[in-house]
Amino acid sequence: MIRVEYPDLSKLTAEQREQFDRVPIQLTHMLLHCPVKTVRFFIDFALSFRSGNLEPKIREGVILRMASLCGSAYELSHHRPAAELAGLSVQEIEAITSLKPSGLNPELGVMIQLVEDCFHNGEASDSTLAKLSSLCSTEEIAEATLLAGLYQMLACFLKTMGVGMDPQPLDWKEVDRHPIT
């Protein structure tokens, strides 16, 4: 349910139109209520994770778990296809998005626990951090923590503003063809 009206596309400035055209989805449309600089930086920040330290399967697992915990159908609709593209199996995706994830490889499983900890406690527990440290680099832990927080914040924005579902998910191959500005 739309809670806030979208900006009128016919009245966008050239700078707003440029940002919308980069990622032409309902989320970007609603983000255009924010200053153009904020929208550009937000999109750049979000897309920067696509070429970060995390293996694509781990990145998408973190996103799917946070989206599941937040009840964000919008995020799930765009990131299930991204997860498949990243190489997660249908069974892994179902496990990650289930109430009690299980049967995942150790690295993905502990990353899912990181997301759980951050969602429920605002930080990783000492035991989760110890397990992460034995399987992942500090850079991967830092990036996964930021990624989890980004998608929790995004779920809040989507729900608060009432961003509607897109008719189809993003074409991630197309998104990856365009460099961050």
Query: What domains, with CATH codes, occur in the chain?
Result: 50-161 (1.20.1290.10)
Q: Whole-angstrom Cα distance, residue 137 to residue 110? A: 13
Q: Two tokens at 90?
A: 């249908």
pLDDT in tens, 100-141: 999 999 999 999 999 999 999 999 999 999 999 999 999 999
Q: Whole-angstrom Cα distance, residue 112 to residue 101? A: 8
Q: What's at 87, amino acid-wise?
A: G
Q: Three-class SS of residue 8?
A: coil
CA distances from 143 to 18, 63, 121 (A): 28, 12, 18
In which band, very low, low, confident or very high, does the pLDDT at 19 lie, cut at 50, 70 and 90?
A: very high
Q: DSSP class of residue 97?
A: T
Residues 52, 31, 123, 116, Cα dihedral to 10°: -80
pTM of the model: 0.95
- Identify the pLDDT of residue 181: 60
Percent of the chain exceeding pLDDT 90 equals: 92
Containing 92, the helix (H) or strand (E) segment is: helix 90-96
